[in-house]
């Protein structure tokens, strides 16, 4: 073995050892994307109004409120990022119930206690077929219901007309299709100091509130003025409940009851604690993957990758014999290097990224095929084994570089213009291309020169 070859072999061994140290034990080291581990990715668009425009400051406050809500909800490693002028991207890994998370983030949660000026009749429950003996009875029940509903609708329209004349009053929808005509707001969510989930005397989930000194004073006045009358509890413009005030409440404490499940009451409490969003938001993009689907994808991806790699290994062995062994070892090193680089760069492995790694496996041996075919040609033209080896590597190198640099150009375009999973794909593809070129050119060569110097009489 020549001295240069020896140094090359030592370099390769050193790199392999470092890569192995970085990689093993592999559990938990590769950072999986949300599409693989399950979770929620949301992009929010802040929506300003003329009276409340979106400013850099309101976005910062929006971030703070959202971060508070998410932290209190108990999500580990949430990522909140500003995107451009008026967007926020949120990644919530491992969320079991994306519905609930969305509800927590999307709601503005403006709480108000308002004077009740009037109430529309409620729409009765829609008839259910199983409660009637025959179709005719059911049909007439449905007609009666339609009639009742249109009466209520007409009543609500009247209220809405009244509102147009007077800007101080509003119409808010309540439960069961009814609506309320509401007067001035007495107390709002910003006067709260505490919001907690409790259970009322019937064991139903409720949210108990504590007001600040100022809020307690306002609430006291409101209850005093409305004994025997209703006060509406309004959340985001919807009346949650409108209890009749039995007596003056001066302690600064109140309770909201409504049709909550304990989980819903808990979310409401969190939103009230964390404060209302400074501007309203719209969910622009929402990609949620359940944890089971993510785990399935990882398993399928890894399995198909291993099967693919095994097929390539066998093909190279059958077609190229001893040369194939060197290429196979280099392929294993390339896969090891890709994983080590992904861990080292802390890049996120996504589903398309797994596709990228698998594709790299196929393309990784391309360099070796180029070199080997060149070597065979040189050998046939009468060169010695070592000379063929040398010429094969030298001549193939140019084309290997040319062809892989173009792949890198495509990958970097993907990186700059892609988003989310596509970026992950671009990184894995680039890492794959670079490590396979290294393995083709350096690793295979050092293995081959070791083998060939041991077996002098070999032919190709």
Which 394-413 positions form the footprint of another protein (CB under 8 A)?
398-399, 402-407, 409-411, 413
List 16, 22, 163, 322, residue binding another protein (CB under 8 A) = 322
First to last CA, the chain: 19
**Strand-pair partners of 31:** 348
Select 127 or 290, whichever has its Cβ closest to another protein: 290
DSSP character at residue 49: B
Considering the complex, what minimum distance in angstroms separates the CB of residue 356 from another protein?
7
Specify the stretch interacting with another protein by CB under 8 A; choose among 131-139, 159-167, 333-341, 425-433.
425-433
278: tokens are 């400074």
Rounded to a whole number of angstroms, the minimum distance from the CB of residue 19 to another protein is: 21
Number of residues that bind another protein (CB under 8 A): 77
Sites for another protein among residues 324-353 (CB under 8 A):
351-352
Contact between 307 and another protein by CB under 8 A: the answer reads: yes
Nearest distance in Å: CB 203, another protein? 24
Q: Is 173 in a helix, a strand, or coil?
A: strand
CB of 137 to another protein, least distance (A): 21
> Using the rule CB under 8 A, which residue among 22, 141, 385, 460 binds another protein?
460
Near another protein by CB under 8 A: residue from 62, 312, 335, 443? 312
> Distance between CA atoms of 40 and 108, rounded to whole angstroms?
19
Pairing mode, strands 348-349 and 31-32? parallel
Cα–Cα distance measured from residue 398 to residue 395, given in angstroms and rounded to the nearest whole number: 6
- State which of residues 81, 321, 386, 453 lies at the interface with another protein (CB under 8 A): 321
Pick 252 or 424: Cβ nearer another protein: 424
Phi and psi, residue 183, nearest 5°: -95, -145
Closest CB to another protein among 196 and 390? 390
Q: Which is nearer to another protein, 183 or 362 (CB)?
A: 362
DSSP notation for 60-96: HHHHHHHHHHHHHHT-SS-EEEEETTTEEEEEEET-S
Map the footprint of another protein across residues 46-85, applying CB under 8 A.
Answer: none
Q: What are the CA-CA distances from residue 386 to residues 101, 114, 149, 445, 446 (Å)?
A: 65, 92, 93, 11, 13
Minimum Å distance from CB 418 to another protein? 7
Are the beta carbons of 208 and 254 closer than 8 angstroms? yes
Beta strands in 120-215 (DSSP E): 170-173, 179-188, 192-199, 205-211
Instruction: Candidates 16, 102, 162, 332: give the one binding another protein (CB under 8 A).
Output: 102
Q: Which residues within the stretch 354-373 sit at the binding site for another protein (CB under 8 A)?
A: 354-356, 358-359, 361-363, 365-366, 369-370, 373
DSSP secondary structure of 227-260: BTSBEEEEETTEEEE-PBB-S---SSEEEEESS-
- Separation of alpha carbons 365 and 363, rounded Å: 6
Q: Cβ of residue 211: shortest distance to another protein, in angstroms? A: 31
Query: Residues near 12 by Cβ (< 8 Å), separated by ≥ 6?
Result: 333, 442, 443, 446
Q: Of 132, 138, 155, 315, which one interacts with another protein (CB under 8 A)?
A: 315
C-alpha distance from residue 361 to each of 23, 327, 403 (Å): 18, 12, 16
Residue indicated by tokens 């060939």? 452
The nearest distance, CB 341 to another protein, in angstroms, is 18
Taking CB under 8 A as the binding criterion, the range among 16-24, 148-156, 227-235, 415-423 that sits at the site for another protein is 415-423
Quote the least distance from Cβ 361 to another protein, whole Å. 5
| Least separation in angstroms between CB 100 and another protein | 11
Residues 265-294 that bind another protein (CB under 8 A): 282-290, 292-293
What minimum distance in Å lies between the beta carbon of 301 and another protein?
6
Encoding tokens for residue 26? 């592999």
Pick 165 or 398: Cβ nearer another protein: 398
Query: Could you say which of 316, 333, 337, 448 contacts another protein (CB under 8 A)?
Result: 316
Locate 102 and state its tokens. Answer: 């969305």
Contact 127, 143 (CB under 8 A): no
**Which residues from 146-205 bind another protein, rule CB under 8 A?**
none
């Amino acid at each position: 073995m020549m001295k240069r070859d020896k140094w090359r072999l030592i370099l390769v061994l050193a790199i392999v050892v470092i890569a192995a140290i970085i990689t093993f034990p592999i559990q938990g080291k590769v950072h999986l994307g949300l599409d693989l581990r399950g979770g929620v990715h949301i992009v929010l668009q802040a929506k300003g109004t003329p009276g409340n425009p979106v400013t850099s400051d309101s976005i910062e406050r929006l971030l703070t409120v959202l971060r508070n809500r998410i932290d209190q909800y108990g999500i580990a490693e949430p990522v909140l990022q500003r995107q451009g002028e008026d967007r926020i991207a949120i990644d919530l890994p491992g969320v079991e119930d994306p519905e609930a998370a969305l509800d927590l983030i999307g709601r503005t949660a403006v709480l108000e206690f308002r004077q009740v000026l009037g109430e529309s009749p409620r729409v009765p429950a829609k008839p259910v077929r199983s409660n009637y003996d025959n179709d005719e009875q059911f049909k007439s029940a449905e007609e009666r219901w339609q009639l009742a509903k249109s009466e209520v609708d007409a009543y609500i329209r009247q209220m809405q007309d009244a509102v147009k004349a007077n800007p101080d009053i509003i119409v808010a929808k309540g439960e069961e299709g009814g609506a309320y005509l509401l007067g001035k707001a007495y107390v709002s969510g910003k006067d709260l100091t505490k919001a907690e989930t409790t259970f009322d005397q019937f064991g139903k989930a409720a949210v108990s509130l504590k007001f600040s000194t100022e809020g307690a004073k306002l609430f006291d006045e409101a209850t005093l003025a409305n004994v025997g009358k209703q006060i509406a509890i309004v959340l985001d413009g919807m009346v949650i409940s409108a209890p009749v005030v039995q007596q003056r409440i001066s302690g600064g404490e109140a309770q909201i009851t409504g049709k909550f499940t304990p989980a819903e009451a808990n979310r409401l409490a969190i939103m009230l604690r964390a404060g209302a969003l400074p501007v309203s938001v719209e969910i622009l993009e929402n990609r949620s993957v359940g944890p089971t689907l993510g785990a399935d994808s990882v398993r399928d991806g890894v399995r198909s990758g291993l099967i693919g790699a095994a097929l390539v290994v066998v093909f190279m062995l059958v077609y190229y014999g001893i040369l194939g062994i060197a290429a196979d070892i280099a392929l294993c090193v390339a896969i090891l290097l890709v994983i080590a680089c992904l861990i080292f760069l802390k890049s996120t492995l996504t589903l398309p990224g797994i596709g990228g790694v698998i594709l790299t496996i196929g393309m990784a041996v391309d360099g070796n095929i180029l070199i080997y075919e060149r070597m065979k040609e040189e050998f046939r033209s009468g060169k010695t084994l070592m000379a063929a080896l040398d010429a094969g590597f030298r001549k193939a190198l140019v084309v290997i570089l040319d062809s892989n640099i173009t792949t890198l150009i495509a990958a970097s375009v993907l990186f700059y213009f892609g988003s989310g999973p596509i970026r992950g794909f671009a990184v894995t593809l680039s890492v794959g291309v670079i490590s396979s070129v290294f393995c083709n050119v350096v690793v295979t060569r050092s293995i081959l020169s070791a083998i060939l110097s041991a077996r002098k009489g070999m032919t190709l």
